[in-house]
C-alpha cells in the first residue's frame, strides 16, 4: 500500500528528481539510501504520488490522475488508465462509476428500443396485421392443414396468438425439407397469420443492412376472427362430409409433397449413416417423384437405404469420391425401382424411423383430414390419387 508519509520529507522538486532518476533506471537501493527512504526496493514506485493526466474528469470536473507503474511495467508497455482524483470514474469502457453505469444502461435500453422499432418496421412492411374476414370453408385444404398443424405445434399463448413451432414435441414437418416453409408461406400469403414482432429474442436477426427471421422461433398472430372459435369450426368442417369441392384433390397433393419430404429426410439420414453427402437436389427430387409413382414412403425408405449401401460398397470397390458415391446412389436406386417394377419384387418396406417420427403435418393430414392413419405411409400417394 502507498504510504504518503514515506516521502513527505522530500520537497516537490527533490521528489520529482527521485521519480525521474527511478524511471531513468538508476540503482534503486542507492536511491533509497541517497534520499533516506525506507522501503523494499521493489515497492518504491508504489509510494510515488500519481501523475497528473492534464485534463479534468468529465463527470465531476476534478483533475484526472494517472496511477504510477513500476519501471518494469513501463518497459512492458503497460498503461494505466486515468482516474478521477475525486470520484470513482476511471477512463475505461468498463468504468463502474455510477454515471458510466447509468450511461451504459441507457445505451443498452436505447439499442433495445431501436431494435424493437426496426423489427416492428420490418414486420409491418412485410406482413399485414389487419383482421381478416374469412370463414373456414373459404380456406384451401393446404392452408387448413397448415393452420391446424401450426396451432397444434405452437399451442395457444392467448386467444389470438400461437407459440413457436420449435417448442413442439412433434416436429411441424419432416426436417430439412422445403415443405415446412412452403406450408407456412401459404398461411402468410393468405394473411391468416403473421409473425409477432415481440417474438422471442433471436427470431428477427439483423446482418448488416439485411433483416431476416426464423420461422421456427416466431410467435404467431392469428388474424382471422375469433381464432379459437374459428379453429373449432374448421375442425368440425374437416370432420363433416360437406368438404369444399377442391379439398380432396388438394389433400392428395399435400400427401404427395409430404411423402416426398419424408423420403428426402430419410435419404439424408441414410447418407449420414454412411458418411456420404446428400446427392444433388434436382436428381434426388426427380428420383423421389419417380419412386412415389408406384411405391409407398415405407417402400421408398427400403429402396433408398439399400441404395445407400450399394453406393458405399461401390465406393469401396472403385475407390471413388464420396460425392461420386452419393450420385451413384441415385442411379442405383432408380435401377432397383425399375427392376422391382418389371420383375414384380415384393418390397416389404420399412416402418417409420424412430429418429424421424411422424410430423404434425402427417398427423393432421392422415388422421384428421384423410382419416386413414398410417395408410398414408404404407401406400403410394400417387397410386391413391389416381383412384
Ligand atoms: Zn470525477
Ligand atoms: Zn465512470
pLDDT at 381: 84
Residue 387, pLDDT > 60, answer: no
Q: Which of 184, 217, 239 is the last residue of a domain?
A: 239
Q: What is the Cα–Cα distance from 332 to 294, expressed in whole angstroms? A: 17
Provide φ and ψ at 18, rounded to 5°.
-60, -45
Task: Examine the domain organization and report whether 380 and 261 are in the same domain.
Answer: yes
If you average pLDDT over residues 339-359, what whole number do you get? 87
pLDDT tens-digit readout, 207-235: 777 778 999 999 999 999 999 999 999 99
Task: Examine the domain organization and report whether 232 and 136 are in the same domain.
Answer: yes
pLDDT at 194: 97
Q: State which H helix or E strand residue 204 sits in.
A: strand 204-207
Task: Examine the domain organization and report whether 10 and 30 are in the same domain.
Answer: yes
Rounded to the nearest angstrom, the distance between the alpha carbon of 36 and the centre of ligand 1 is: 35
- Entry field: residues in the chain: 387
Task: Examine the domain organization and report whether 374 and 269 are in the same domain.
Answer: yes
Task: Examine the domain organization and report whether 381 and 290 are in the same domain.
Answer: yes
Rounded to the nearest angstrom, the distance between the alpha carbon of 38 and the centre of ligand 2 is: 36
Structural domain boundaries, residue 137: 128-239
Rounded to the nearest angstrom, the distance between the alpha carbon of 94 and the centre of ligand 2 is: 8
pLDDT tens-digit readout, 312-336: 999 989 888 888 989 899 999 999 9
Q: What is the Cα–Cα distance from 328 to 41, expressed in whole angstroms? A: 78
Q: Which of 69, 92, 115 is the last residue of a domain?
A: 92
The ligand whose atoms approach the alpha carbon of 94 most closely is 2
Number of C-beta neighbours around residue 106 at 10 A = 10
Rounded to the nearest angstrom, the distance between the alpha carbon of 19 and the centre of ligand 1 is: 26
Task: Examine the domain organization and report whether 251 and 235 are in the same domain.
Answer: no
Q: Which of 92, 114, 148 is the last residue of a domain?
A: 92
Q: In whole numbers, what is the pLDDT of the chain averaged over residues?
A: 92
Rounded to the nearest angstrom, the distance between the alpha carbon of 64 and the centre of ligand 2 is: 12
Q: What is the Cα–Cα distance from 234 to 248, expressed in whole angstroms? A: 15
Contact 224, 230 (CB under 8 A): yes
Residue 122 belongs to some domain of the structure: no
Rounded to the nearest angstrom, the distance between the alpha carbon of 70 and the centre of ligand 2 is: 25
Count: domains in the chain? 3
Between 206 and 53, the more confident residue is 53
281-292 vs 297-318: helix crossing angle, rounded to 10: 130
Rounded to the nearest angstrom, the distance between the alpha carbon of 65 and the centre of ligand 1 is: 10
Rounded to the nearest angstrom, the distance between the alpha carbon of 92 and the centre of ligand 2 is: 8
Write out the residues surrounding ion ligand 2, Cβ under 5 A: 89, 95, 97, 100
pLDDT at 264: 95
Q: How confident is the model at residue 77 (pLDDT cuts 50, 70, 90)?
A: low
Rounded to the nearest angstrom, the distance between the alpha carbon of 220 and the centre of ligand 1 is: 50
> Residue 228's domain is classified under what CATH number?
1.10.10
If you average pLDDT over residues 135-164, what whole number do you get? 97
Tell me whether residue 156 is exposed, middle or buried, using C-beta atoms within 10 angstroms of its C-beta: 0 to 12, 13 to 18, 19 or more.
middle
Q: How confident is the model at residue 383 (pLDDT cuts 50, 70, 90)?
A: low
Q: What is the Cα–Cα distance from 165 to 204, expressed in whole angstroms? A: 15
Rounded to the nearest angstrom, the distance between the alpha carbon of 84 and the centre of ligand 1 is: 5
Rounded to the nearest angstrom, the distance between the alpha carbon of 99 and the centre of ligand 1 is: 10
Rounded to the nearest angstrom, the distance between the alpha carbon of 107 and the centre of ligand 1 is: 21
Provide φ and ψ at 221, rounded to 5°.
-85, 130
Rounded to the nearest angstrom, the distance between the alpha carbon of 289 and the centre of ligand 2 is: 66
Rounded to the nearest angstrom, the distance between the alpha carbon of 170 and the centre of ligand 1 is: 58
Rounded to the nearest angstrom, the distance between the alpha carbon of 78 and the centre of ligand 2 is: 21
pLDDT at 382: 76
Q: How confident is the model at residue 241 (pLDDT cuts 50, 70, 90)?
A: confident
Task: Examine the domain organization and report whether 233 and 258 are in the same domain.
Answer: no
Amino acid at each position: 500500500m502507498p504510504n504518503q508519509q514515506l516521502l513527505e520529507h522530500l520537497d516537490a522538486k527533490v521528489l520529482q528528481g527521485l521519480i525521474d532518476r527511478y524511471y531513468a533506471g538508476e540503482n534503486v537501493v542507492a536511491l533509497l539510501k541517497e534520499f533516506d527512504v525506507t522501503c523494499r526496493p521493489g515497492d518504491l514506485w508504489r509510494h510515488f504520488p500519481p501523475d497528473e493526466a492534464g485534463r479534468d474528469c468529465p463527470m465531476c470536473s476534478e483533475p484526472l490522475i494517472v496511477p504510477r507503474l513500476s519501471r518494469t511495467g513501463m518497459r512492458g508497455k503497460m498503461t494505466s488508465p486515468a482516474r478521477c482524483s475525486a470520484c470513482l470514474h476511471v477512463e475505461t469502457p468498463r468504468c463502474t462509476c455510477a454515471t458510466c453505469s447509468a450511461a451504459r444502461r441507457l445505451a443498452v435500453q436505447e439499442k433495445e428500443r431501436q431494435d424493437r422499432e426496426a423489427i416492428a418496421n420490418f414486420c409491418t412492411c412485410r406482413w399485414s396485421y389487419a383482421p381478416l374476414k374469412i370463414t373456414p370453408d373459404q380456406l384451401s385444404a393446404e392452408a387448413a392443414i397448415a393452420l391446424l398443424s401450426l396451432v397444434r405445434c405452437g399451442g395457444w399463448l392467448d386467444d389470438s396468438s400461437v407459440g413457436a413451432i420449435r417448442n413442439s414435441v412433434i416436429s411441424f414437418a419432416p426436417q430439412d425439407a422445403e415443405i415446412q416453409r412452403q406450408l407456412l408461406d401459404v398461411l402468410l400469403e393468405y394473411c391468416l397469420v403473421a409473425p409477432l414482432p415481440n417474438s422471442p429474442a433471436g427470431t428477427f436477426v439483423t446482418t448488416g443492412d439485411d433483416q431476416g427471421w426464423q420461422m421456427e422461433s416466431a410467435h404467431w398472430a392469428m388474424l382471422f376472427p375469433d381464432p379459437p372459435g374459428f379453429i373449432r369450426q374448421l375442425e368440425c368442417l374437416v370432420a363433416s362430409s360437406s368438404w369444399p369441392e377442391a379439398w380432396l384433390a388438394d389433400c392428395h397433393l399435400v400427401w404427395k409433397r409430404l411423402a416426398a419430404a419424408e423420403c428426402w429426410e430419410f435419404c439424408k439420414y441414410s447418407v449420414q449413416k454412411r458418411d456420404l453427402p446428400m446427392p444433388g437436389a434436382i436428381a434426388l427430387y426427380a428420383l423421389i417423384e419417380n419412386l412415389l409413382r408406384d411405391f409407398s414412403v415405407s417402400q421408398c425408405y427400403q429402396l433408398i437405404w439399400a441404395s445407400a449401401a450399394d453406393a458405399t460398397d461401390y465406393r469401396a470397390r472403385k475407390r471413388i469420391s464420396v460425392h461420386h458415391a452419393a450420385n451413384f446412389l441415385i442411379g442405383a436406386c432408380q435401377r432397383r425401382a425399375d427392376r422391382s417394377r418389371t420383375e414384380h419384387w415384393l418390397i416389404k418396406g420399412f416402418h417409420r424411423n424412430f429418429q424421424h417420427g411422424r410430423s404434425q403435418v402427417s398427423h393432421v393430414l392422415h388422421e384428421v383430414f384423410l382419416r386413414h392413419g398410417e395408410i398414408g405411409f404404407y401406400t403410394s400417394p400417387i397410386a391413391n390419387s389416381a383412384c
